[in-house]
A and B are shown apart, each in its own frame.
Chain A
Amino acid sequence: MDIHLIPGAIPSESERDVVDAFLATQDTWDHSPFALGADDRTVHGGHAGRNRRHLLLPTLRTVQNRFGHISRGAMNYLCERLNVPPAEAYGVASFYALLTLEPAPPLVVHVCNDLACHLNGADRLCAILTEQFGPAGKPGADGAAMWKTSPCLGLCECSPAAYVQQAGESPVETVLTSATSESILGTLRGHPVTEIDRQSGKGHPSAPQTMGAERSALRLLTRVGRVDPDSLDDYRASGGFAALRLAFEMGPNGILREVTDSGLQGRGGAAFPTGRKWQAVASSPVHPHYLVANADESESGTFKDRLLMEADPFALIESMTIAGFATGCKQGYVYIRGEYPHAAQRIQHAIDSSRNRGFLGANILDQGVEFDIEVRQGAGAYICGEETALFNSIEGFRGEPRNKPPFPTEAGLFGKPTVVNNVETLYSVLGIILSGGGAFARSGTAGSKGTKLFCVSGHVEHPGVYELPFGATLRDLLGQSGGVRGGASLQAVLLGGAAGSFLTPDELDVALTYEGTRAIGASLGSGVVMVLDERVDLQDFVLRIAAFFRDESCGQCVPCRVGTQRQEEALLRLASGATNGTRQNEIRLIDDIARVMRDASICGLGTTASVAVQSAIAKFGVFQHDR
């Protein structure tokens, strides 16, 4: 292939070694199209070489983790090895927030100042860091460390939070929970980072129900906080892999029937019937089929999938194997967002030990079933949670959404029929197999079946993941989580995350179902319930949402690229009082922008970028008056 490398950019010996060592772990295909093998006489490139673009992001991550940035020399070398033009690789690398193309300190602390952390003092924290360490994005005096602000890290139940990247020979990726200025400054000044194990053995503090009497009613969280997430035997002792055995007995058609009968709807936010999706892929004559678990949980305020993967990782392996068996997939991918290092480690460990024990591989349980799973980690891009953007990211392209149709069931990952499911959706399948689709369909309400996880954060006594059968009200959920913290009074609830909408204290009796929320013009989304007490400056909070969308728009389509920018500008003008014309003019402009984005954006980011903003203006009157 005609690759034009960056002139004069020479990789260092260690950069070569790191790339070579990583690629050597990736597959049995041990030659690269450019780099010579041990002999200098043969190169196996061509189709095999050009088919390795999907290793681009993992390779970029590896270089980033080792050296703290991706030098031009390293870029040249990995492009040679992967047969990718450097200009394209640059486009990919610059797409992701966690990849750096200019020299940077080896230690970077990403301090979340997104919605939940904002509610819990992140701004104050950042001010202290600026004063005592220096401004965000600037290396400290010794050049060894730097801090940055970050969008939501999915650690909302223990906010404020930070994500730590320590590049080096033994790279460290970890998180700081309930972060303080002391803990962050200590990390920045080189104190070793120790992860607090939140596992107690008697329940999980991030899922308060698991610590009390209600745990017997739990289906999805039943093992959370009880089983050792690194022990396959512990998982089996608590009922693990029973569903898989049963599924093999049912056969693919039996599974498809149960899942369809169950009425299970996708838990990622769109609520598409899972059975229909599976049927479509299973019946496609085009092969191979792929399965993707969407664990790019990036919606502000969402952290349920992280908890499931960290506390009960084997259940994902089991449910994916069932899904793969039912839909004729031999290869599954788990795409985990880059800011979830512990979930990725747990899942990788679960994959390795499952494969080792015959629960994955060429002949699972001696049933002649072939299925395996690969972990792919993101690198900081909200948009990659959009399923087609996620495919592009896995394939080694910029994580930009594709136009639909064709839908993933027809042409998804690598252009093949693909089942892509949210993590919680997959976990729900285990119960359906064990108790039957009919039993599942009998729980919940007419339009919403089964149980649902809710991510409760903000000003509540006990933030965390809660599992409730469909039909419970928002008031029930707030009651379970201890009510507004410190006895303060409730100002608003953000339901569904940054792409969701604000509810007033008068709307607490809404049933948390798909149909119930729709009836009041809201949506469940991914299950975010963020509680804002009376002291919150809602206008500030809405500005943070607008900034989030402006920042996370991938820039591919004009309505979203321009619209998110213009929306924030209009809100900032309203906030400052320097409006163009009257306030009503500006609000009409925001409505116009919202309509354009909703009608013409390629993906859901653009179509929902104004929902929360508009609901705050309409229901709470923010930005309507001078302050």
Chain B
Amino acid sequence: MFGAGGGTSSYREAEETDLIVLWGSNARETHPIYFHHVLKAVNRGARLFVVDPRRTSSAQWADVWLGLDVGSDVALANAVGREIIVNDLHNRSFIDRATSDFESYRQSVEPYSLAYAERLTGVPSAAIRELAHAYARADRAQLCWTLGITEHHNAVENVFALINLGLLTGHVGRYGSGLVPLRGQNNVQGGGDMGALPNRLPGGYDVENADDREPFERCYGVSIPARYGKRLDEMFDAMERGEMHALYVIGENPAQSEADSHRTMRLLNGLDWMVVQDIFLTRTAEMADVVFPASASWCETEGTVTSSERRVQRVRKAIDPPGEARDDIDILCDMASRLGQDWGRLSAESVWDELRGLSAWHRGMSYARLEALDGLAWPCPAEDHPGSPFLHARLWQDPIEGKRAPFHAVQHHPPADALTDDFPIRLTTGRRLDSYNTGVQSSGYSSPLRWGETIDIHAADGHRLGIADGELVRVISRRGTIEAPARFDSSLRPGLAFMTMHFPDEVATNILTNDVVDPRSGTAEFKATAIRVEKINERAG
């Protein structure tokens, strides 16, 4: 944000803050490491607010839980912003000095009175008011979010709505105050930082900027296409149009992880050729023409990962990969040589040092320093630089360094998959503590907490539909039908259902989900599907 793709704060700051807001994040289960830092803060006396449609296990730790309607985050955030402004709790000196477009923001949130927001979100106005006042009055506050914000058709607007709150109150760029998108894996941050994004070069450089490209072209000795690549959703659209015929998939299982599985499978089946490089023979790999067995990055390879606090840490090889599995770098180097480029045999460290020559963020991070200091947070532009636990301190310089941070006025747009009489129940998806996405990495282990896939509903919905707890039911969305056991869950309310995607071989949840994507992020709206639930024997009988 504000030109740097990463969370602004270190984990340690979460422990020393006064207020933590988890918005669209069940960190207790999905970011257990981060939640340990949260718990330290809570035990020290910090207050915790959780904004989530479900009363999750994170919400059970919260001082206040706000159970908003799925997809009403912008309305809630705008109402919080308006309440802060109306009560003169916004940080005027920070806004004047370090931000731009405040006035248009102020006007944009004006309609979002507490009463109006209560109608849009379902959250009582008193609770909205409490969140607004607590956030604005806190000396230090961390605003954290995850997929509950980003897996929506208006994901980027959701993020802007939250960033606006940080700007409004000055809760960014200071120790203990920050805006923290929690990353879903140990190295999501690192993947993006290394350029595994269609619009970025390693180190966050812009593909379409010639000055940014030039050092890379010089180093690599090739010219780099001067336009953004395709996002995942755009790739599927290109396959649909017959413009894309071949796919090289590394460490992804799109056959089961993407929304609207029926369509995904049809498109993948229609490819001329697909290569999959993975540590397991995933459903996607089963469809591939060629499979490269790869090594497990956390124990069979050397390298680094980058966590949500932008901390680069060393990963060390403990064991050799089994059978024919090989290190990803080796596989890529062999691919290159077969394609006529001799890269030689590269070590992880030599690849890293090449990156350091190109990325100012990483320049000061030698393997020796990473080892000695237990990792470093970027930006770390020189070998004598201590790293940057938190970002954007520049916004507090007087006058500020660099660009002002802009407000982005955004409006409430309900989920694309509308609730109707035919599809009256809102299904949202998520993850549980002991499983991981489509289960590629976690289904091989047993867990005492695991009960397989279920469609979780409130008991009142079950009674209304004549469904017993545990009964196999039919779940229908506008895109498909699946069967799953119903499970009554008191963390839901009537009209709200929940599923995971951990067991796609038994229950293919993503047959139901909507692949409408945010035009800017390309992420599908996994969090908001309109469904109905039917008793099976009723129809049959």
A interface with B by C-beta (< 8 Å): 1-3, 33-34, 36, 39-48
Contacts A1-B61, A42-B127 given; indicate if A47 touches B67 (C-beta within 8 A).
no
For residue A51, give the distance in angstroms from its CB to the closest CB of chain B.
11
For residue B277, give the distance in angstroms from its CB to the closest CB of chain A.
38
Chain B contacts with A in 107-151, Cβ cutoff 8 A: 122-124, 126-127
Contacts A33-B60, A34-B60 given; indicate if A45 touches B67 (C-beta within 8 A).
no
**A1 CA to B35 CA, complexed, in Å:** 12
Chain A's closest residue to B53 (CB) is A41
**A44 CA to B123 CA, complexed, in Å:** 13
Chain B's closest residue to A40 (CB) is B493
Question: Which residues of B have CB within 8 Å of A46?
Answer: 42, 47-48, 61-64
**Is B60's CB under 8 angstroms from A42's CB?**
no
**Is A45's CB under 8 angstroms from B63's CB?**
yes
Q: Nearest 7 pairs between A and B by C-beta? A: A46-B63, A40-B493, A41-B67, A42-B127, A43-B65, A41-B123, A46-B62
> Mind listing 22 A-B residue pairs with CB under 8 Å?
A1-B61, A2-B57, A3-B60, A34-B55, A34-B60, A36-B493, A40-B494, A41-B66, A41-B123, A41-B124, A41-B127, A42-B67, A42-B126, A43-B59, A43-B64, A43-B65, A43-B67, A45-B61, A46-B42, A46-B47, A46-B48, A46-B62
| Additional A-B contact list (19), CB under 8 Å, known A1-B60, A34-B60, A42-B123 | A2-B57, A2-B61, A40-B67, A40-B493, A41-B66, A41-B122, A41-B123, A41-B124, A41-B493, A42-B64, A42-B66, A42-B67, A43-B59, A43-B62, A45-B59, A46-B42, A46-B61, A46-B63, A47-B42
Contacts A2-B57, A47-B45, A47-B47 given; indicate if A42 touches B63 (C-beta within 8 A).
no
For residue B128, give the distance in angstroms from its CB to the closest CB of chain A.
9
B68 part of interface (Cβ distance < 8 Å): yes
Question: Which residues of B have CB within 8 Å of A36?
Answer: 55, 493
Question: Which residues of A have CB within 8 Å of B42?
Answer: 46-47
Contact with A along B36-79 (1 / 0, CB 8 A): 00000010010110000001010111111111100000000000
Our pick among A2, A45, A48 for the contact of B65 (Cβ within 8 Å) is A45
For residue A264, give the distance in angstroms from its CB to the closest CB of chain B.
39
**A2 CA to B494 CA, complexed, in Å:** 23
Chain B's closest residue to A41 (CB) is B67
Question: Which residues of A have CB within 8 Å of B66?
Answer: 41-42
**A1 CA to B45 CA, complexed, in Å:** 14
For residue A164, give the distance in angstroms from its CB to the closest CB of chain B.
38
Contacts A46-B42, A47-B47 given; indicate if A39 touches B124 (C-beta within 8 A).
yes
Question: Which residues of A have CB within 8 Å of B60?
Answer: 1-3, 33-34, 45
Question: Which residues of B have CB within 8 Å of A48?
Answer: 63
Chain B's closest residue to A31 (CB) is B64
Chain B contacts with A in 16-47, Cβ cutoff 8 A: 28, 42, 45, 47
**A44 CA to B122 CA, complexed, in Å:** 16
**Is A41's CB under 8 angstroms from B57's CB?**
no
Contacts A47-B45, A47-B47 given; indicate if A42 touches B65 (C-beta within 8 A).
yes
Question: Which residues of B have CB within 8 Å of A39?
Answer: 124
Question: Which residues of A have CB within 8 Å of B28?
Answer: 2
Question: Which residues of A have CB within 8 Å of B48?
Answer: 46
Question: Which residues of B have CB within 8 Å of A43?
Answer: 55, 59, 62, 64-65, 67
Our pick among B64, B67, B493, B494 for the contact of A44 (Cβ within 8 Å) is B64
Question: Which residues of A have CB within 8 Å of B68?
Answer: 41
Chain B's closest residue to A37 (CB) is B124
**A36 CA to B65 CA, complexed, in Å:** 10
Chain A's closest residue to B28 (CB) is A2
B interface with A by C-beta (< 8 Å): 28, 42, 45, 47-48, 55, 57, 59-68, 122-124, 126-127, 490, 493-494
For residue A430, give the distance in angstroms from its CB to the closest CB of chain B.
40
Chain A's closest residue to B492 (CB) is A40
Question: Which residues of B have CB within 8 Å of A45?
Answer: 59-65
Chain A's closest residue to B66 (CB) is A42
Which residue of B28, B45, B55, B68 has the most chain A CB atoms within 10 A of its CB atom?
B55
Question: Which residues of B have CB within 8 Å of A41?
Answer: 66-68, 122-124, 127, 493
Question: Which residues of A have CB within 8 Å of B127?
Answer: 41-42
Question: Which residues of A have CB within 8 Å of B494?
Answer: 40
Which residue of B42, B45, B62, B68 has the most chain A CB atoms within 10 A of its CB atom?
B62
Which residue of B61, B66, B490, B493 has the most chain A CB atoms within 10 A of its CB atom?
B61
Question: Which residues of A have CB within 8 Å of B493?
Answer: 36, 40-41
For residue B27, give the distance in angstroms from its CB to the closest CB of chain A.
13
For residue B114, give the distance in angstroms from its CB to the closest CB of chain A.
13
**Is A47's CB under 8 angstroms from B122's CB?**
no
**A2 CA to B28 CA, complexed, in Å:** 9
For residue A49, give the distance in angstroms from its CB to the closest CB of chain B.
8
For residue A249, give the distance in angstroms from its CB to the closest CB of chain B.
40
For residue A44, give the distance in angstroms from its CB to the closest CB of chain B.
6
For residue B34, give the distance in angstroms from its CB to the closest CB of chain A.
16
For residue A218, give the distance in angstroms from its CB to the closest CB of chain B.
51
**A42 CA to B64 CA, complexed, in Å:** 7
For residue B93, give the distance in angstroms from its CB to the closest CB of chain A.
31
Question: Which residues of A have CB within 8 Å of B126?
Answer: 42
Chain A's closest residue to B131 (CB) is A42
**A43 CA to B61 CA, complexed, in Å:** 10
Question: Which residues of A have CB within 8 Å of B62?
Answer: 43, 45-46
**A33 CA to B59 CA, complexed, in Å:** 9
**A36 CA to B126 CA, complexed, in Å:** 15
Question: Which residues of B have CB within 8 Å of A33?
Answer: 60
Which residue of B65, B66, B126, B127 has the most chain A CB atoms within 10 A of its CB atom?
B65
Our pick among A1, A2, A42 for the contact of B124 (Cβ within 8 Å) is A42
Chain A's closest residue to B59 (CB) is A43
**A41 CA to B124 CA, complexed, in Å:** 7
Which residue of A1, A36, A42 has the most chain B CB atoms within 10 A of its CB atom?
A42
Chain B's closest residue to A2 (CB) is B57
Question: Which residues of B have CB within 8 Å of A42?
Answer: 64-67, 123-124, 126-127
Chain B's closest residue to A33 (CB) is B60
**A46 CA to B61 CA, complexed, in Å:** 5
Chain A's closest residue to B62 (CB) is A46
For residue A325, give the distance in angstroms from its CB to the closest CB of chain B.
30
Question: Which residues of A have CB within 8 Å of B490?
Answer: 34
**A233 CA to B122 CA, complexed, in Å:** 53
**A41 CA to B66 CA, complexed, in Å:** 6
**A135 CA to B47 CA, complexed, in Å:** 55
**A34 CA to B60 CA, complexed, in Å:** 7
For residue B533, give the distance in angstroms from its CB to the closest CB of chain A.
19
**A41 CA to B60 CA, complexed, in Å:** 13
**A454 CA to B123 CA, complexed, in Å:** 62
Question: Which residues of A have CB within 8 Å of B63?
Answer: 44-48
For residue B498, give the distance in angstroms from its CB to the closest CB of chain A.
15
**A36 CA to B124 CA, complexed, in Å:** 13
Question: Which residues of A have CB within 8 Å of B65?
Answer: 42-45
**A36 CA to B67 CA, complexed, in Å:** 11
Chain A's closest residue to B64 (CB) is A44
For residue A270, give the distance in angstroms from its CB to the closest CB of chain B.
36
**A34 CA to B490 CA, complexed, in Å:** 9
Question: Which residues of A have CB within 8 Å of B59?
Answer: 43, 45
Chain A's closest residue to B45 (CB) is A47
Chain A's closest residue to B46 (CB) is A47
**A46 CA to B58 CA, complexed, in Å:** 10
For residue B252, give the distance in angstroms from its CB to the closest CB of chain A.
32
Chain B's closest residue to A48 (CB) is B63
**A47 CA to B49 CA, complexed, in Å:** 11
Chain A's closest residue to B65 (CB) is A43
**A44 CA to B55 CA, complexed, in Å:** 11
Chain A's closest residue to B122 (CB) is A41
For residue A531, give the distance in angstroms from its CB to the closest CB of chain B.
56
Question: Which residues of B have CB within 8 Å of A3?
Answer: 60
For residue B130, give the distance in angstroms from its CB to the closest CB of chain A.
9
**A1 CA to B65 CA, complexed, in Å:** 13
Chain A's closest residue to B123 (CB) is A41
For residue A81, give the distance in angstroms from its CB to the closest CB of chain B.
13
Which residue of A34, A36, A43, A44 has the most chain B CB atoms within 10 A of its CB atom?
A43
